[in-house]
Every structure is written in structure tokens, then in C-alpha cells.
Structure 1
């Protein structure tokens, strides 16, 4: 697998030197002590000073594909070739990305290299440091970040997890060393998920319950990631276990009655629901002048539901998305308690625990509706509970980078299969359930230079 060495070197140098691009440094002779971290504090600084890359620019092409918005015919030609291909679920790998670098792939692997630099370096100073809380935090953080990056990549560039085919489906090139000269071919989907889980299971033993900032990983964040992973694998008992473990440590919810929906950013950064803060890559498609909310999504909210007023606004006569847990126009892609309540509710329903499932759902929705208007939802069967929870999941977690994975995993169940359609210049485009197009092609440069096998499409 090819990695742009100059790009990586620049990232590493900027990270270690805290972005101090001063002329006296540029004029100075290279010094090994300046660019090679050697202590626990150095490696923590490497992760912390890399927040410009470690906590932003997570893969977001799935948001373009998932069908919760559309772009009108006037704005569509202004999108990049990559966005147009992803938006229309293009049927071929030929010219899918044109000659452009695929940021979802490249930026993730740049972070993975950074994580491997930390883990390799820590292994060299392990003696006498293993019981040091600071050492544990750095190691756990690097493992969490690597798991998070590989998981997000797998949602786009690997087939959805299936126990029947995971051992033969193409997975990711799994780099676990900072040595960029090692040739790494594609693993299987099974091996990819085993690596992802191995990293985060180690991390959960090392990380603190309360981090210094939500920009750092924590034990609740690791439990939350495990729940997300097992949910995507349709292993619902373990997804339930880890959602519950997460909520035992962090379970705060916001009351949307306390938000100012007239504010351009009603939901603030580091709000009480944030467990781990991370944001998605911003594409042209996400600009409020382009992104138009799917009417079916908007109309699914009750009139007393406060989420539409806090999530959506009108720009140029079109309904668009304004709400984001990031506190800015950048889409939130981290882990939060509302997701964990929905994870746990879904898994309760799937294991026949209707009372517990509805308790979680009602607790969440009561804080999303106007005070005094919400009446607890009641169902008689687990299937009814599941249908209701999945409907609320789409409404609560929209534009968070989660629906694409939900579509992929739910399409294996005929009850929840979804056919996506879009129309551009009078031509209708369709994405059928379980289509090969649910897996994006890999950048042609990686295929050509790195010798990787391409995804069928």
C-alpha cells in the first residue's frame, strides 16, 4: 500500500513541534532530538498536538451516499468527480474518483501511521513504565484511535460484515507498524474486524473513565466504540453489553427544551452527551447552499418534536441541515450518549426485552419533545419496538456518519431493506439492497502503486 511519505513527514513534524513553523527552525540544521519523541510525555504530546488530524477529517463519503439529502440539478455539476460518483452510486470503478486523492482513505492512513509511531515508540520504553498512568493513557489512546480509524474505513471500503463470508471478503491493508517500507496486502473482513476489536479491547483496560477533554479517548468511549462495532456485525448481545457498560459510566442527556433553536448552532461543542469528540471531512455536498433535506426524513418528525427546529433551517428557500454536535457547520462523527441509548434499546428489543427497550427510547424522546407533550410509547411485541427504535435512530442520528452502516447491516433483513433513489437532470438512479455498490472502490493509485485488489462493483 502506497503512502505519500512527504505528506506524512510534514504531518509528523508539525505535530511534534506543535505547529511552530518559525523561520529560525526552518533555517536550523535537522536535529534528531527535534523529530523523534523519546518519553511518555513526548508521545502524549504527539497525540495531543495532532488534534488537527486525530479528531477531525473522519471518512464521510457514506453521508453523501445514504440518501438523507439531495442536491438540485443547478448545484450538482459543481460537485467534485468523487462526490458525483458517490452521490449517484456509480456502477463502475473507471474514473470513479478521476485522478483525485481519496481523502477518506488517505487521511485515515496518515493517522494510522501516526498511531503506529506512538505504539512502536512506547514499546521501546515499556520497561518501568507499564504501571505509569500516563503511559497507559497514551498507549490506550493510540490503540483506540487506530481501532476507530480502521472501523470507519471498513464501513466504506469493505463489504458489510457477514459471518458467512467474512473469512473470504476483502478487508483492509492492516498496518500495525510505523515501518512504511513493509508491503501490506488486503486482509479479510474477518481479520479486519478482529484487529479493530483487539485494539479497542486493549484500550478499554488502559484508558481513564474521565479524560482531561472529550478530544481524548476514554473508557466510556472505548465501550461505546465496541458497541458500535458489534452492532455493525449484528452481534447484538455484545453490542448491548458494551452500550450498557458505556452508559454505566456516562449517561447524561440534554433537554432540547433548554436549547435555543433560533441559534445558528443550538447544540454546543462538548455538550453533556459527548463521550468522544470527532468530526467528519467536509465535502461541497454538505454546504447549506447545496444540501437539501430529504422530505421523507423531515416529515417523519412529530409536530411536538424539537429536533427539526434544532437540526434544520431554511437557506435560499430550501430546507438544509444546521445542527451538529461539533458546535460548527462541520458534521459530528464522534461517540455520544444518545447513540448508546439507541444502541441499547435496539439490542434490548432484539433480545426480547421490550420493557427495557421502551424505557431507553422513552427516556430519550421525552427530552426531545416540548415539555409536557410526550406520552410514553407503548408496544406489545419486540418487532413493534424494533421498528419504532430504528425509525427514531434515523431521526436522532442523522448526518452523524452512522446511517450508511445502518443501511448496510439492516439490508440483510427483508423487513428493513431500503431501496435508495435519486434523480439528476431527469434521470433516475437506484441503489438496491445488498448491492455491491454499498462498498466503495479503492483509489486507483493505491491499486496501481500499492498492488491492492480492487473491490468488485
Structure 2
């Protein structure tokens, strides 16, 4: 920690973060990092931001959660989070749901850590191949944060005009400028994400450095890029990068054999990248702490009872107090809050592209390929004694089934449903447990409000309307 604290002497606070006490003063004569390995430790700590989970919290904005009467122990949580559940503009403000920096401040702090590493790598002593590998890792991790930021606060790429729609500010170095940062466009942010990913993939591919799956590698970067292109509706590139990953790693965990997809200590079959994030994870294994917003009936209902194994394995059932499915849990107790990237996503990315190509052009080869990917995934998810291959001929039915399978498989992970309801233009309906008033939101053009604390400290930021 001494090394991390000292190197912060070299960097400013981003005006866009809005945290005046983020940096602490230290003596100028303390030891500063000198080795590439010192920056590696900063990347692992301040780059990866363990302990903060802005991934699962986005479920509350979607059709994957519903409101239930809060138990006495979680009444305060209900009062805070109902503002998010109703998409209220004051959800992150003190006069509303209360300040929460998970969606804005935490990603930018991760970016700050990545920028710091990128800025000073060339000044450190060490092996060149490790230096370049860490550079690639930092670039990819930075792109990951910007990808989530622009999808939190900017209109979905395919739903508006990315050339003019406001995204988030781009800050690509840790130097002091004294300026307030304005918001770049959605297109500008996506282009930077693409550049970082392509550069990072090249560096990681050319400079081999042993990593376990708790750190981003070249396969994770290609998987992220496949998702980015999918959201941009660049179907050919989304397909190409999904292919590239699956040619190297195509494993799927057979749920018939037990285990969970993120129980990393014993069933790492399909994990490409995974990190454990406890903060923001709402599924409790203690009945008295069962959350006030749980898995929706709509989500639970898309699994066929006693056929689709994911219903009982992915969704945690709190039967002791008859509250139903408390939420998504894809790891065991020791790895309950894991988030990351799995091979299953690449099968679904590829199947969606093939389905769309079949719907657009009618070539049967795309239908066959889409079904092959969907059935390959499902045979590892459906009770073997009841498994039947899907065979659809109508293009729209095939695409609809593919998107439903995506929801079944990826619920609760790395903002998948949040991004999907937005890019697909889904209208979501929410109802508080004690009210008959329905609240509806067209997610196609919905964006999160920037916390008031942030806009007050950076008046150059234009608030979302």
C-alpha cells in the first residue's frame, strides 16, 4: 500500500470524479515506485477496483427485478433503492435515494489507476515483455470501464445518433490541466474503447505473460470487443471476435453434473475472466436480510420448471420465508459475487448475429449455424432426460428465442440485461409492492442521471434529461 499511496503524489484528481479528498498528502522524500512490478501492484489494486460492483446493481432498472415488502432489517435499503426502481431523476442525490458513486465515481477511479500505470510504465525498470503486457492489460481494463460508463450515461449506440448523443468525458492521462471536463459523444467514447481494445489485444498477444483468469487476458479482450461490436450492430466484427475466442476456448460447464459457472475453485470450465465484487451484490443467504428487490416473476417464468437447470442453479430460492427467488447467484458461498466473462456469452453473440443475418437475407446456412450454437449451449443447461433440440424456421421466432436464451443465461452478470433492454428498446414496467400504480420506462432512450454531487463539482457536465 505504501507504493500505491506514494505514486499518487504524481497524479491529480480528475475534475470529472468530484472527490476532493481522493488524494492524500505524503512526504515528497518517501520511496517512489521504480520497477514495472510496482506498477503491476497498482494495476491489480486501483485498476481492478475489487470490492466495488456496479455490474449487478443495474438489474434494478430492468425487468429482472420486482419489489416485495421489505423485512424490518432492510427497510432503509428499500427506501434508498426504490428511487432507482422507479427511475427517479434523484436516485443518486441526497434529497432522493442518497449519493451513490458506483456507476460514475468508481469506474473513473479505475480509469485513473489505469491511466497512472500507462503514464509511468516507460519510466520503470523491468523486462520489456512484462511492461508491454501490462500496458495491454491497462488499456483493456480502461476500455472496460468506459464501456460501462457510456452505457450508463449515454443513449444506446444503436438507438440514437451516436455522433451527437452525449456520452461521458474521456480522460486518457493522469496529468493536471485545471480544466472542467465536458462530455464526449457516444461515438467518440466507442471509438476510444475500440482503439484501446485493439491495441491491448495486440500487446497481450505479442507479449506472453502468465496470468490466471482473475486478470484480463487477450481472450477476455476479444470477448469484450465482440460485445462492443454487437452493441454497435457491426455484425461481421462481432462474429469474427466471437469466433476468435471460441476457436481457442469453447468449454461449457455441464449443469447436469452439478457445480456453478462461477465456482472458480472447482468448476472453472467456461470462465474467461472473473473477479469477486462483494459491494453492491444484493443476494443474501440469510433470510432475515432478504433484499426488498428480488428476481421478478417475469425472469423466473422464462425457465421451464424441472427442465431448465438454470432456474434452480442461477436463481437463489429463499424458501424459508416464502419470498421466492431472492436474486441471481452463479457461484457458491465463497464466490457468490463473482462477475466476469464466460464462453457462454460468445455462443450467444454468435447465435444472435447468425439469427439476424438469417432474418435479413433468408440464407438457411445462417439459421443452421444459429441453431447449432443455441443447441450446443442448451444441452449443457437442460436436464439430460428432457433435452430436445430446438428447430425453428421463422427468422423472427429464431431471433426472439435467441434473445430469450441470452436473458436466461446472462441474467445478473456485467450489466447484460441493462444493456440489452436499452439496445432492444424494451419497455419495462415496475410496480411497488404496496401500490397499484404502474411505472413504465422506454429503455431505448433511457440513461442514468449523473449524481448531483458530481455536476455541482464539475459545472461543465451537462445533466441527462
Fold similarity call, TM over 0.5: yes
| Aligned partner of residue 431 in structure 1, secondary structure | strand
State which of 199, 204, 209 in structure 2 corresponds to 1:207. 204
Offset at residue 104 of structure 1 (A)? 2.1
Describe the shift of the 1:327–1:351 C-alpha distance in structure 2 as closer, same or farther (beyond 3 A). farther
Describe the shift of the 1:335–1:85 C-alpha distance in structure 2 as closer, same or farther (beyond 3 A). same
Q: Which residue of 2 aligns with 1:345?
A: 351
Offset at residue 153 of structure 1 (A)? 1.3
Q: Which residue of 1 aligns with 2:9?
A: none
Structure 1 segment 183-202 matched on structure 2, within 5 A:
183=179, 184-202=181-199
Offset at residue 218 of structure 1 (A)? 0.7
State which of 409, 427, 440 in structure 2 corresponds to 1:396. 409
Offset at residue 125 of structure 1 (A)? 5.1
Q: Which residue of 2 aligns with 1:307?
A: 310
1:140/1:206 contact within 8 Å kept:
yes
| Whole-angstrom distance in 2 between the partners of 1:90 and 1:234 | 30
| Aligned partner of residue 251 in structure 2, secondary structure | coil
How does the TM-score come out when normalised to structure 2? 0.83
Size of the aligned set, in residue pairs, is: 425
| Whole-angstrom distance in 1 between the partners of 2:261 and 2:253 | 12
Offset at residue 179 of structure 1 (A)? 2.1
| Aligned partner of residue 335 in structure 1, secondary structure | strand
Describe the shift of the 1:284–1:162 C-alpha distance in structure 2 as closer, same or farther (beyond 3 A). closer
Is 1:89 the counterpart of 2:93? The answer is no
| Aligned partner of residue 4 in structure 1, secondary structure | coil
Offset from partner CA, 1:107-166 (integer Å, 9 cap, x none): 11111111011000024459x96xx32112100110011000111111211111138511
Gaps of 5+ in 2: 1-15, 359-365
| Whole-angstrom distance in 1 between the partners of 2:232 and 2:376 | 26
| Aligned partner of residue 333 in structure 1, secondary structure | strand
CA root-mean-square deviation: 2.8
Offset at residue 91 of structure 1 (A)? 5.0
| Aligned partner of residue 387 in structure 2, secondary structure | coil
Describe the shift of the 1:243–1:182 C-alpha distance in structure 2 as closer, same or farther (beyond 3 A). farther
Describe the shift of the 1:231–1:82 C-alpha distance in structure 2 as closer, same or farther (beyond 3 A). farther
| Whole-angstrom distance in 2 between the partners of 1:368 and 1:394 | 13
| Whole-angstrom distance in 1 between the partners of 2:100 and 2:159 | 32
| Whole-angstrom distance in 1 between the partners of 2:295 and 2:226 | 29
Structure 1 segment 418-437 matched on structure 2, within 5 A:
418-434=427-443, 436=445
Q: Which residue of 1 aligns with 2:274?
A: 277
Q: Which residue of 1 aligns with 2:169?
A: 173
| Whole-angstrom distance in 2 between the partners of 1:346 and 1:174 | 31
| Whole-angstrom distance in 2 between the partners of 1:162 and 1:96 | 33
| Whole-angstrom distance in 2 between the partners of 1:343 and 1:55 | 28
1:62/1:404 contact within 8 Å kept:
yes
Which structure is higher in RCO with an 8 Å CA cutoff and minimum separation 6? 2
Describe the shift of the 1:87–1:449 C-alpha distance in structure 2 as closer, same or farther (beyond 3 A). same
| Whole-angstrom distance in 2 between the partners of 1:41 and 1:210 | 13
Offset at residue 293 of structure 1 (A)? 2.1
Describe the shift of the 1:231–1:408 C-alpha distance in structure 2 as closer, same or farther (beyond 3 A). same
Offset at residue 453 of structure 1 (A)? 3.0
